[in-house]
Amino acid sequence: MTEPPGRRERKKAATRQKIADTALQLFRERGYDEVGIRDIAAEADVAVTTLFSHFASKEALVFDQDRDFEQRLTRAVTDRAPHEPLIPALRHQIRALVRHCTADGTAPFWLMIDESPALRKYESSMRLRHAESLATAIAADPDLAQTPTAARTIARFVIDAFSLAREAPDPDAAVDEIFRMIEAAWEVTHHPSPVQGATTARETKADRAGSNR
């Protein structure tokens, strides 16, 4: 008998969470470098192939909330109410994510990442991917009317805001401080000053003249 899609998806999600929880527990007990994929599969009572059907690598087991993080940021863009400002929506999501990642008991998790070159490299590439996804969502929104370069710049700022605020002594205050700067940068892209506008026009004219030589 075939299982209903809803039940099947719930079982898959439960298995994925069990694997991630088991991996994190073993990493904490023995150290990240001392635990292998087979150790995790055995402890979670799943086949190695099952583990890899949920996680592409050992590093991915540490960042099991990767997809959720990425989706929450892109939905802050795509699920906004009509005419809702973008930057406050992104600030709200970053604040929530920072609070989650700085809650009591999370310090050993971040220490494990800081002590592992492989995990630091994975986290860096993950953040770049998040920034690209966020930039794509911003650039695709007709109400925002941003160039790809502006969208990517703001997206990078937002992703960096998470890392900077998470490491700050007062994460909430850091989020507010950083987003004041992001808001200012965003305003510049919408309302360039007369000097900036004239400079851009001169640069465009010069570029055109150069291309005609």
pLDDT digits (tens, 9 = 90+) for 19-53: 999 999 999 999 999 999 999 999 999 999 999 99
pLDDT digits (tens, 9 = 90+) for 179-207: 999 999 998 876 655 544 444 444 444 44
Higher pLDDT: 13 or 190? It is 13
Distance, C-alpha 10 to centroid of its chain: 24
**All structural domains of the chain with their residue ranges:** 5-56, 66-194
Task: Answer yes or no: CATH 1.10.357 is held by domain 66-194.
Answer: yes
Same fold, 5-56 and 66-194: no
CA distances to 81, 90, 136, 201 from 149, rounded to whole Å, are 25, 18, 10, 17
Homologous superfamily of the 5-56 domain (CATH): Homeodomain-like (1.10.10.60)
